[in-house]
Each structure stands twice: as C-alpha cells, then as structure tokens.
C-alpha cells in the first residue's frame, strides 16, 4: 500500500520551538533514521517519505493537525502528473477535452480541479511529480504518448492549440488590468461578439465603468464574456456560476454550451443544477483535500453526478466518501408552527437610481423563509431593513434583534477559536456546540488558524457559525452557499435547518443556488423588477409556488431524479418539459 505524507505549511506553527524539530518525539524508522527532519528552506518539518513507515504517530502528536499520513488507493500505481513540493499536494491524471462536448468537472474544494485546468491551459507546466527538476516538454509528451493527452501537450507546447481560460480568482482581474469594461473587451474580442454578449448578460449600462468599480457578479460576467470572445480550440471555465444570480446562471450556461460547436469546453462547477444543465459528460475528482486528487474516467452526466452523490465509483471500485448525499424524496412542504416570530409591513426604500417596494409578511417559529431573484433587485437591502441597518422610507419594522450574515464575509482579526469564543461565550464549550457547529462545519481543525489565512469557503463557514453563535430569534443569511462545494453546501443547509428547528427560531436565507434553496426552504419571497432600477416582491408564498414562479421567470422546468431525488433541469423542448409547461407546473413533475 503506497502512502503520501502531507504537511500543510500554512498551519505549521513551528518558530524554532516545535518539538518535532529537535527530534525528541520523532518516530524512528526501522532503519534507525529519523523520518522527520528540518527543512533548509523555512526551518519547518519535512517528512522523509522513503523512511516513513506510516505508523501514524506524528499526526496524533502534531498540536495543529497539519500532518497527514494518507494511504493511497491500491489501484493507484501511476505517477502524479503534478506535485507542488515536498510533503505537498499531488494530482493524478487530467480531464480530457473533447471537441463538440462540454465536459463538467465535479469535486470538493482543495482537491485539484483548478490545478488540472491550469495545467491544461498552459498556466502551470506539469512536473510529473518531480518538483526538484522540471521535466522537458519532450519528456512530458513521451510520458503520455499513448494517450490523448500526449497529442494535446504536443500541440499546447508547440503553440498549435488556442486556449481560452476563465480563472476562478476573478478578484485578481482589477489588479492585472486598468481601464473600463469596454476598453478591456475591445482589446481581446477576436470574434466581434462582446457587445452582443454584454447585452445578453445585462451589462450594457456598465460598459464605461472602470474594472475596479465592478461587483463580484459583474466581474464574473466580464471574465466570462472575455473568455467566450476569443477564437479558441479549447475553453476552460473555472466556477463560472459563482456570484451570479439564478437568471444569469442559466444565460451563462446557454452561452458556454454554444461554444462547443467548434471547440472543446471544460467547466468546473459546484452548482449541480448548472453543471447538469451545461454538461455532456462528467469527470469526478476525488481524493483527500489539500493532499491528493485523482480524476476519474468520463461518465454520462446523470450517472456521474449520481455516483458522486453516492460516494462510490463502480468503474474504479473506489468509495471516496463513507456516506451518500441524500435529497428530499418528494417536494412536500414541511409543517411549521403557526406562531409568528417576525411580522413586517409593506416597506419602501428609494435611492437616486433604485427603488424597492415589498409586501407585508411574517416568519414563524422553526420556519426558514428563502429569498430568490436576480441581482440588483434589493434582496440585500430588504435584509438590511429588517435588521435595522437601513431605515425604510415607508413602513416601520418592529425592533427585534437579528443576527445577520453579510453577503461578502470579511476577515476578522484573531484566530478562529478567539472570534468564535467571543461570539458564543459559554456555549462554545458545550457538547452541542462542538458537535452541531464546530464538527459539522469542519471548523474544529481550524481553531488555531488565524482568520486571515482561511480560504473563501472556510471564511464563509466561520461567518455562518458566528451568526448562529448569537442569542437571537431571527437569523438572516445573505448568500451562505457562496464559495462552498456540494458536500459543504448541503451540510450548511442541514446545520441551519437543524438549528432553527431545535431552537424554535426562524431564518431568512437569500441565495442563488436553486439546489440549496430547494433543500433548505419552507416558504419563499420572489424578487422581481428591473435590476439596478426597481425591485418588488412576490410573496411570501409556499416554497412550491415560489419555485414555480422563479422557474417560470427563467423559462425552465424542473423534475426530480428517479434515483437521487435531486432537482434536475429538463432539456428545453423535451417531452417532460412540454408536459409540465402545458400544466403550468415548472417545479417538479
């Protein structure tokens, strides 16, 4: 059984005093040699992977749990295609671009999806596991000469394949380019379609805005338009649905699908509904987060997603998760209390260029009111009025303490443990808090980490925990699924739902992920209007009626998968699509 030794450098707290460095508790290999030594580069521990016997002592003794000794699957006999360094992440295999098809890539955060796209796009040159000496182009081509990757690398290294790449980190765009939207797109528009795409994605009124002044969703749309406007043989899109509202996600999905007519397209995405709608095939990435990633062979879309949810790949004979991800068996509404916790009247808020009007409504004990609608219609403004952060021009919200998770989680000074203890106080040491909050959200292993070192998903989960740590009856969450992968999205939904039911409080959740909303919601508000100009509210209504309204606005129909029960988008014009439209039933068959 081969093994992999991983040390997460950012978690290692050694500053000359770590007991591993002096060798006092280092496990001793059978040969008598120390298997943990001091790095000459940063004076932090390095595990000698040849001498390591896999005894498991060092992970247990490490005070920050930064050491992992991982047993690799027995069938995995290949060398990695890329490794970042000593005791660092390594990636096995790559997805295969196929002309005329959209290949969807599905897997957890920190498991190599972005690394794979960077390698295929030529951003990162694969080192074949040799991080000390970069192999030549010829050696890489020879290594994969008997596969499709050999021909692909030959064309890539010789410049005979044009690649267009939409990166994950769109927040880096303003740091790399100065100027307006139209100036940027005009320079790279090789097809003459940028202005048309700006109109389709509702960006016409922002063409003269400076790149540095764009929101996350606006930056995402500019990045997608920029990638789609290039004449390329292969298009790579890394998480294109992030920051986008549900309406724009469908538009972007249709745009990306249109690119595969004369090219190959690969898409990494966590939103299952979008991935299902956009893909022709699925390749799953599994392994251990921050340790190693393995890319499976290609699968049919429905089969691939269902196998991923099940956590077992029959063709590879690998169980990569010890539990299955389950969805509701039916679209039935959950019974909630009739006792109201929050009532709000008709509200109105006017700005210089935008106005919002809402209807009266209420939220009951143990109820989760979900909110959907396009960006720029006032959803965040609505939450801010309820929480007292903004005063409405018309209507008065009753004074009630609301715990509010902002749309964009901010970095807080201190460690995870310090900020959570300050918010939860005596609850922090309770068994319930440790199990229901820390363990389920994966925060226990991060307690000693500085908040500033957390990833986007980890920071999001920290802010969800901070919100639930407050003593309130009303909890408001603005886009809690952002930055979070499929498994953690459903875990987040379960944590919020269990908390609401157990404590007989209520929650208001704004999100763009149809899957997440479908999973967590009891009742719904639907925001309508003209983005950036005028917003109004339909509801509160039942989740079924609200989802039906949203999907009718999107002009798509949903059904439940027969096996996994997950919501799936019907193909336009299909028999099921036509049947549901004829009955006015856009939400489930």
Banded model confidence at residue 23, pLDDT cuts 50, 70, 90 = very low
**Which residues does 36 contact at the CB level (< 8 Å), separation at least 6?**
20, 23, 26, 27, 45, 46, 47, 48, 58
Residues of the chain with CATH 3.30.70: 1-71
Rounded CA gap, 452 and 97, in Å?
36
Question: Cα separation of 498 and 487, whole Å?
Answer: 16
Element (H, E) at 219: helix 216-228
Pairing of strands 45-47, 36-38: antiparallel
Say which residue, 421 or 171, is predicted with more confidence: 421
Omega of the bond prior to 412 within 30 degrees of 0, cis? no
Q: How far is CA 420 from CA 201, 372, 442, in A?
A: 40, 29, 13
Rg of the Cα trace of the chain? 25
CATH class entry, domain 340-542 = alpha beta
Token match 């916790």: residue?
341
Segment 239-298, tens digit of pLDDT: 898 888 877 888 899 999 999 988 999 999 988 888 998 999 999 999 887 788 999 989
- Give span(s): CATH 3.40.50.300, the chain: 82-162+232-319, 340-542
* 1-71 is a CATH 1.10.1060 domain: no
Rounded distance, CA 489 to CA 108, Å? 11
- pTM for the whole structure: 0.76
The CATH T-level fold of domain 82-162+232-319 is Rossmann fold (3.40.50)
Model confidence pLDDT, tens digit, residues 122-171 = 889 999 888 888 899 999 999 888 888 889 999 999 989 999 999 887 87
Tokens of 264: 């190959």
- The 10s digit of each residue's pLDDT in 345-389 is 999 999 887 899 998 888 889 999 999 887 778 888 888 888 888
Predicted pLDDT at 223: 94
Whether pLDDT at 27 is above 50? no
How far apart (Å, rounded) are the C-alpha atoms in residues 124 and 523? 46
Q: How far apart are CA 514 and CA 516, in angstroms?
A: 5
Distance CA(19)–CA(7), nearest Å, equals 15
Torsion region of 211: left, alpha or beta (phi above 0 gives left; psi -120 to 50 gives alpha): alpha
Separation CA 358–CA 527 (nearest Å): 9
pLDDT at 573: 85
The secondary element (H helix, E strand) that includes residue 239 is: none
CA 319 – CA 323 distance, rounded (Å): 9
SS3 category, 580: helix
Query: Per-residue pLDDT tens for 76-118?
Result: 567 889 988 777 788 988 999 999 999 999 998 888 888 899 8
The residue that leads in pLDDT, 87 or 498, is: 498
């Amino acid at each position: 059984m081969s093994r992999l030794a991983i040390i997460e450098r950012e978690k290692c707290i050694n500053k000359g005093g770590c007991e591993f460095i002096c060798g006092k508790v280092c496990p001793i290999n059978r040969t008598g040699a120390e298997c943990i030594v001091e790095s000459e580069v940063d004076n932090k521990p390095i595990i000698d992977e040849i001498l390591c016997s896999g005894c498991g002592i060092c992970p247990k003794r490490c005070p920050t749990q930064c050491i992992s000794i991982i047993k690799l699957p027995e069938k995995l006999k290949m060398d990695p295609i890329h490794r970042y360094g000593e005791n660092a992440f390594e990636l096995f295999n790559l997805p295969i671009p196929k002309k005329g098809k959209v290949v969807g890539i599905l897997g957890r955060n920190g498991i190599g999806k972005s690394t794979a796209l960077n390698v295929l796009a030529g951003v990162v040159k694969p080192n074949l596991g040799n991080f000390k000496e970069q192999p030549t182009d010829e050696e890489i081509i020879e290594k994969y000469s008997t596969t499709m990757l050999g021909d692909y690398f030959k064309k890539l290294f010789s410049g005979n394949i044009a690649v267009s790449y939409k990166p994950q980190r769109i927040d880096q765009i303003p740091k790399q380019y100065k100027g307006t939207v139209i100036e940027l797109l005009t320079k790279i528009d090789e097809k003459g379609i940028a202005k048309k795409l700006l109109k389709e994605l509702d960006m016409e009124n922002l063409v003269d805005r400076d790149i540095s002044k764009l929101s996350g969703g606006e930056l995402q749309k500019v990045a997608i338009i920029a990638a789609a406007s290039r004449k390329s043989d292969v298009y790579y899109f890394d998480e294109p649905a992030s920051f986008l509202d549900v309406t724009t996600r469908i538009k972007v999905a249709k745009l990306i699908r249109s690119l595969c007519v004369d090219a190959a397209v690969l898409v990494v995405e966590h939103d299952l509904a979008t991935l299902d709608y956009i893909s022709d095939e699925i390749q799953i990435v599994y392994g251990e987060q921050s340790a190693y990633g393995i890319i499976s062979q290609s699968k049919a879309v429905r089969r691939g997603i269902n196998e991923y949810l099940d956590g077992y790949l029959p063709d590879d004979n690998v169980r990569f998760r010890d539990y299955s991800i389950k969805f509701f068996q039916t679209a039935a509404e959950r019974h909630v209390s009739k006792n109201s916790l929050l009532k709000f009247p008709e509200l109105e808020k006017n700005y210089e260029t935008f106005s919002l009007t809402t209807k009266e409504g209420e939220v009951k004990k143990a109820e989760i009111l979900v909110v959907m609608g396009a960006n720029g219609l006032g959803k965040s403004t609505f939450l801010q009025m309820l929480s007292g952060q903004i005063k409405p021009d018309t209507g008065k919200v009753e004074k009630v303490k609301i715990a509010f998770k902002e749309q964009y989680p901010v970095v807080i000074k201190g460690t995870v443990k310090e900020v959570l203890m300050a918010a939860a106080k005596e609850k922090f040491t309770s068994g319930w808090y440790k199990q229901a909050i820390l363990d389920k959200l994966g925060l226990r292993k991060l307690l000693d980490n500085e908040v500033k070192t957390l990833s986007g998903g980890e920071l999001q989960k920290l802010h969800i925990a901070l919100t639930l740590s407050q003593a309130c009856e009303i909890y408001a969450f603005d886009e809690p699924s952002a930055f979070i992968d499929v498994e953690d999205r459903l875990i987040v939904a379960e944590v919020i739902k269990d908390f609401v039911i157990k404590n007989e409080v209520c929650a208001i959740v704004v999100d763009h992920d149809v899957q997440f909303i479908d999973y967590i919601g009891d009742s719904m508000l639907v925001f309508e209007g003209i983005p950036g100009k005028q917003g109004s509210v339909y509801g509160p209504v039942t989740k079924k009626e609200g989802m039906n309204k949203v999907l009718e606005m999107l002009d798509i129909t949903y059904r439940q998968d027969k096996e996994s029960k997950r919501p799936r988008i019907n193909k336009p014009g299909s028999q099921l699509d036509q049947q549901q439209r004829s009955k006015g039933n856009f939400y489930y068959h």
